[in-house]
């Protein structure tokens, strides 16, 4: 169970991590929307910023004993490895490949924002069940609760 102290601390840390991610996302956007020449020239400095941002984020997570740190680091390492692997091609002018890689990086940053936010502040409060709400089922479409109940009764009549 998460205490209010944990939630407040988690929110503060989440805000610090969000600042790192926001800075990276802004730079990513600048690179993605710039000219071909700007993209090629900005590639290597941007990779250095990503590495520094990931290190800063991981340091914060380590200090907090973030439970998903190992997985987070593995995701970061995979992303960095992929970006470094295509550096020669991007520097040679293959901006299409570079832009595709940065789009994927944007997705990773977004995923980390969501997973870290939940881990640091706790799960969102679950809304109370209301009549007419949908009942989830594994392997079937969600149906309104009153329809699911009627179907259950229909199948169990003898």
Q: pLDDT tens digit string along 1-20? A: 444 555 666 676 677 777 88
Q: Does pLDDT of 45 surpass 80? A: yes
Range of the domain at 24: 4-121
Do 90 and 158 belong to one domain?
A: no
Q: Name the residue with higher pLDDT: 139 or 108.
A: 108
Q: Does pLDDT of 158 surpass 80? A: no
Q: How many domains does the chain have?
A: 2
Do 100 and 149 belong to one domain?
A: no
Q: How far, in Å, CA of 86 to CA of 15, rounded? A: 32
Q: How far, in Å, CA of 19 to CA of 25, rounded? A: 10
Do 105 and 133 belong to one domain?
A: no
pLDDT (0 to 100) of residue 42: 97
The model carries a pTM of: 0.66
């Amino acid at each position: 169970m998460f205490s209010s102290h944990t939630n407040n601390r988690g929110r503060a840390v989440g805000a610090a991590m969000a600042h790192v991610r926001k800075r990276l996302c802004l730079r990513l956007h600048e690179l993605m929307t710039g000219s071909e020449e700007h993209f090629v020239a900005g590639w290597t400095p941007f990779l250095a910023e990503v590495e520094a941002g990931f290190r800063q984020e991981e340091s914060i997570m380590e200090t907090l004993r973030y439970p998903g740190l190992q997985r987070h680091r593995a995701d970061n390492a995979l992303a960095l490895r992929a970006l470094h692997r295509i550096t020669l091609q991007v520097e040679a002018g293959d901006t299409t490949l570079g832009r595709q890689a940065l789009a994927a990086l944007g997705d990773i940053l977004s995923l980390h924002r969501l997973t870290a936010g939940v881990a640091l502040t706790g799960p969102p409060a679950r809304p109370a069940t209301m009549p007419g709400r949908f009942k989830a089922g594994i392997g079937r479409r969600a149906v309104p609760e009153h329809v699911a109940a009627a179907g259950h009764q229909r199948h169990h009549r003898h």
